[in-house]
Structure 1
């Protein structure tokens, strides 16, 4: 969560403290984990060494553990701050990055331990559904400021879509129905919120520059929906292709707007990584189905772009961590 995104939260003295650890930094786990899954696909399609995926998987797990422990410490030491973030109409949605990170980590560790993957996935699935319930319940209380309808509203619904994305192969007898329930909730919520957010972006004032990176989240429901649908049904068809192509269209539209902006690096830039990772994974799966060289070339190019984006974001994050800006108020 960036400072601009929580401008109306109570202000604090300018200090460097774990109190200022941004919850949206869990998007880094999402982006890196998404890269792991894409590299695994690429090892089959392009002959890429499996070591690239597995070494990146270790990084994803390490980052997840460090962030989780750090945020637990923050919650224990500054519960009021965490409570304020969670109840905030905009910032509260970023807690969805935690649930999605848990779900994706379950897929990252699956080749090492099926049991661990099932346990982690179950925790992530229940947490994602609980968060979706809380967020929707808040909105149905009424009198919500229309200007709060921002792309970050999509994160909890994308979280429920990620349940079948990561759990399509789960062997538990009850997993099939939970995946179907989650996909139903995620798809309808994503459609409703996408419509509300698009209307707000068209009819209301422009969003603040520090929040521009979150615009990429607007694209996320479509490639994630593609992955949820194909992993649940275990096949790719033309409906899946429609989801993929519209996600690709939005990616192009938003990229032109976003990458010509002059927004300095902030943790919120990680918001571009996980929608892009979802698009790359969808492109790789669709390329296998389409069997045409332009789509295969596109999937490979997107994978290279994602890899570069993750490296750049990681380097810049380590830089602001080293100079104390990451944890400064």
Structure 2
């Protein structure tokens, strides 16, 4: 492929967004059955795109190992490596009802990959390398988000203790990183324009944590309500940043908008289904509609960027 050396690991965020959309559409099915048909179409499209991106990045790993190593050593891109294992976990979750055996195999690979990558990324953060405050963005939440995704399918497969293990680790890292990120946002220079869309990732950890926690305990309790409420609070904070977001030039980091919206929609539909609340149902459909518009827009803009040669460029 032309300029394969510059094919970034951040492309796996595209898979996360598309798989998230498929799962969000499926979560809406109890209230609107036609979304299940759309969910299947989006899923198979996402699976095909996942295969292409994985093949291209695998080719880059084989042909341009130095470029992959440079990404691993990059203070921002380092956090995006777990998007691969997260994509596997999301794929397994989407396949759970269609092909349980395949889903379990993918989930196990994803869990091992997520565990290894989390330890490796955190070890990279606390290694001898010198990180600056400006390197810290909400993208650093990605490894934590991956850990709290594990129980979504893991509990249904019977891996209860493994699910609790990853959930606990993810919640711990989320709490630590949230403190660091808020300190960076309040007391230091603004996040650069190219990375500013990662602000939307603030919505993802509490949204995914709500879905996983409800799966682990089997019902909505006070802590579950805290988690989904936090998701809405962060969504409101992100909404206040929209005027700045719409003025920014396109970059692959814009795909950071997609998965957090999907997670919030899924959490809203789950709460509405279990508690029968009209507000959460309306919020779920509103966020789902916004997610569809965002994914279509991002998809078209990504294709245009590839045609124009704007994306596969050295940093």
Q: Establish whether residue 300 from structure 1 lines up as the match of residue 282 from structure 2.
A: no
Change (3 A) 1:178 1:259: farther
Deviation track 1:276-300 (CA, whole Å, cap 9, x = no partner) reads 1111100111112332322211111
Give the 5 Å matches for 1:218-237.
218-237=202-221
Match of 1:138?
A: 124
1:68 Cα deviation from its structure 2 partner: 0.2
User: Whose relative contact order is higher, 1 or 2, with alpha carbons under 8 Å and at least 6 apart?
Assistant: 1
CA–CA separation in structure 2 for the residues paired with 1:60 and 1:144: 34
CA–CA separation in structure 1 for the residues paired with 2:47 and 2:256: 19
CA–CA separation in structure 1 for the residues paired with 2:261 and 2:115: 23
Q: Which of these residues, 110, 117, 137, is aligned with residue 103 of structure 2?
A: 117
Match of 1:7?
A: none
Would the aligned equivalents of 2:195 and 2:253 in 1 still touch at CA under 8 Å? yes
| TM-score normalised according to structure 2 size | 0.94
Aligned length: 312
Give the 5 Å matches for 1:178-197.
178-197=162-181
2:29 alignment partner, SS class? helix
CA–CA separation in structure 2 for the residues paired with 1:295 and 1:162: 21
Match of 2:312?
A: 327
| TM-score normalised according to structure 1 size | 0.90
Q: CA RMSD in A?
A: 1.6
Would the aligned equivalents of 1:25 and 1:268 in 2 still touch at CA under 8 Å? no
Q: Establish whether residue 256 from structure 1 lines up as the match of residue 243 from structure 2.
A: no
1:16 Cα deviation from its structure 2 partner: 5.0
CA–CA separation in structure 1 for the residues paired with 2:239 and 2:172: 26
Would the aligned equivalents of 1:16 and 1:324 in 2 still touch at CA under 8 Å? no
Q: Which of these residues, 172, 178, 182, is aligned with residue 198 of structure 1?
A: 182
Would the aligned equivalents of 1:106 and 1:116 in 2 still touch at CA under 8 Å? yes
CA–CA separation in structure 1 for the residues paired with 2:217 and 2:59: 41
Structure 1 unaligned runs (5+)? 1-14
2:34 alignment partner, SS class? coil
Deviation track 1:173-202 (CA, whole Å, cap 9, x = no partner) reads xx2111111011000011001111111111
Give the 5 Å matches for 1:141-156.
141=127, 143-156=130-143
Structure 2 unaligned runs (5+)? none
Match of 1:279?
A: 264
CA–CA separation in structure 2 for the residues paired with 1:28 and 1:140: 28
Give the 5 Å matches for 1:8-47.
17-47=3-33
Would the aligned equivalents of 1:29 and 1:64 in 2 still touch at CA under 8 Å? yes
